[in-house]
Chains A and B, each alone.
Chain A
């Protein structure tokens, strides 16, 4: 929308991103219940963790029979990237203190960061609007639709009959896909998948997934030959 003032453009983008992202909370809600969590636990994950990848990982590990500890660890490792988003956002959102900063931290996710940074660098107002509107918009949509998904999930009998296990696999593939742009990222993905499968028969559930983090450490330890190789 080139004719709109930038502030309105940022808000409009925020609303469409919030609706699109909120929609897939329906799959999270249903998968969480299929993994054995109840409605309240599913809602608590969306409210407290509020990071799609981490939430899918948590219920994925529980659904596969992993321990609560393995679920927490996998969810936390997958959320590490949000820490780096905070570093990019802090200069845009500054000055910020107390509760406002605590709330801004909670709103720091893939989508709010992407919309904020997509606004022109010379327009801090638009960047701030992009961050807050997307963060709060996704938060509202994500939590509301999680409830719908969990209620739907609890009404169906055998999750496999409805293909919910395949839906969870497709969800992980969908979260992974945009991160596979570079060759090294593809190699890390392939090695991690093979390692997790190879360890599945010999380690308790949940640990083969965590073990894949070692692949990331090994791959990231040495500097790449060209700076373009490292994924975002």
Chain B
């Protein structure tokens, strides 16, 4: 199978699973999900995956660890988030910082 077809299957699968997860919440009896352990783990899963995605996106290239212009960009992003800047501003400023540093020849 071509990579292109495989990507389409993955997109369809991700969409179906996303919908099935949402639908399950609407139809399962409430008591099934009242288990506090299930609640805690589900809440931590979001934190764990987002943090891992952040780390990999910031400090790796392929399978190697790297420090480049992204570290300055995410530093500025953290500062903006701490100052309660809107999401879209944070994303654009981070791109600008990395693009600027690279235009100057660093990272």
Q: How far is the CB of B93 from chain A (nearest CB, A)?
A: 8
A163 contacts B26, C-beta separation under 8 Å: no
How many whole Å from A58's CB to the nearest CB in chain B? 6
The range of chain B's interface size is 35 or more
Number of interface residues of A (CB under 8 A): 105
What separation, in Å, do the CA atoms of A44 and B59 have in the docked complex?
29
B residues 36-65 near A (Cβ < 8 Å) are 36-37, 39-60, 62-65
Best-buried of A81, A106, A193 by chain B (most CB within 10 Å): A193
Q: A80-B42, A80-B46, A81-B45 are in contact. List 18 more A-B contacts (CB 8 A).
A: A26-B88, A72-B13, A72-B14, A78-B49, A105-B26, A106-B22, A161-B102, A163-B98, A164-B95, A167-B94, A169-B54, A170-B77, A179-B43, A209-B56, A213-B49, A215-B44, A223-B40, A230-B40
Within 8 A of B (CB), among A93-113: 93, 96, 101-102, 104-106, 108
Chain A interface (Cβ within 8 Å of chain B)? 20, 23-24, 26-27, 37, 41, 44-45, 47-51, 53-54, 56-58, 60-65, 68-69, 71-72, 74-87, 89-90, 93, 96, 101-102, 104-106, 108, 160-177, 179-180, 184-185, 188-197, 200-201, 205, 208-213, 215-217, 219-221, 223-224, 230-232
A-B contact pairs, 20 of them (CB 8 A): A24-B91, A37-B7, A48-B14, A48-B19, A68-B6, A68-B7, A71-B10, A76-B14, A79-B17, A79-B22, A82-B22, A82-B25, A93-B26, A161-B102, A173-B78, A189-B50, A194-B55, A196-B55, A216-B41, A231-B43
Cα distance A171–B42 in the bound complex, in angstroms: 21
Within the complex, the shortest CB–CB distance from A94 to chain B, in Å, comes to 9
What is the bound-complex CA distance between A224 and B39, given in angstroms?
Answer: 12
Contact B44–A220 (Cβ < 8 Å): yes
